[in-house]
Amino acid sequence: MIIRISKITLISFLLFSCEPNLVDDPIPVVNFDDVVINLSFPAYINLNKEGGFKDISDLGGGVRGIIVYRLSPTAFVAYEKNCSYTPNEACSTVEVHSSGLFMIDPCCSSSFNFSDAMPTGGPAWRPLRKYRTQLNGNTLTITDEIID
């Protein structure tokens, strides 16, 4: 049996099957009250050193919560836990990998580095959302302002 495929069908198949599948659903935007952390409290001891991180989802904020990471003695970043790949899926939630070296979405297997939340593996192609942070003495404030 011979199957005949038109040239247009073949060209269309090749063109569309070779393109990357860049899902472009945006992460939902939610407003939340400022999250204020006293870095001198024992619960936040990991944030007192460079490279330290803390999942602060229990304090509210973000769509699915927030992971805070200390970049330097004076710089913190707050990352949205809602994965940037298919963010509307029920299981699309990032967590810190058990090694503590990167963040991962166990649902789609996308991984993200701590320094800028860029994807380092899996299908995600956009970084995680970042929220504005402000350090004043021992008080870290995270706002719902989205930064690039």
pLDDT tens readout for residues 40-64: 999 999 999 999 999 999 999 999 9
Of the CA atoms within 13 Å of residue 129, those in its CB half-sphere come to 25
Provide the pLDDT for residue 148. 79
All domains in the chain, ordered by first residue = 23-147 (2.102.10.10)
Query: Is the overall model pTM greater than 0.85, yes or no?
Result: no
Provide the pLDDT for residue 16. 44
Q: What is the pLDDT of residues 72-89, one digit of tens each?
A: 999 999 999 999 999 988
**Residue showing tokens 């949205």:** 80
Does pLDDT of 136 surpass 90?
A: yes
Task: DSSP for 30-93, please give it.
Answer: ---PPEEEETTSGGGGGGGSTT-EEE-GGG--SSS-EEEEEEETTEEEEEESB-SSSTTSTT-B
Provide the pLDDT for residue 21. 52
Q: What is the mean pLDDT of residues 88-112?
A: 94
- End-to-end, the C-alpha distance of the chain in Å comes to 56
Q: What is the pLDDT of residues 3-43, one digit of tens each?
A: 555 555 444 444 444 444 555 678 889 999 999 999 999 99
Rounded to whole angstroms, how far apart are CA atoms 65 and 45?
A: 19
76 close to 143: Cβ distance less than 8 angstroms: no
105 close to 94: Cβ distance less than 8 angstroms: yes
Rounded to whole angstroms, how far apart are CA atoms 62 and 90?
A: 15
β-bridge partners, 117? none
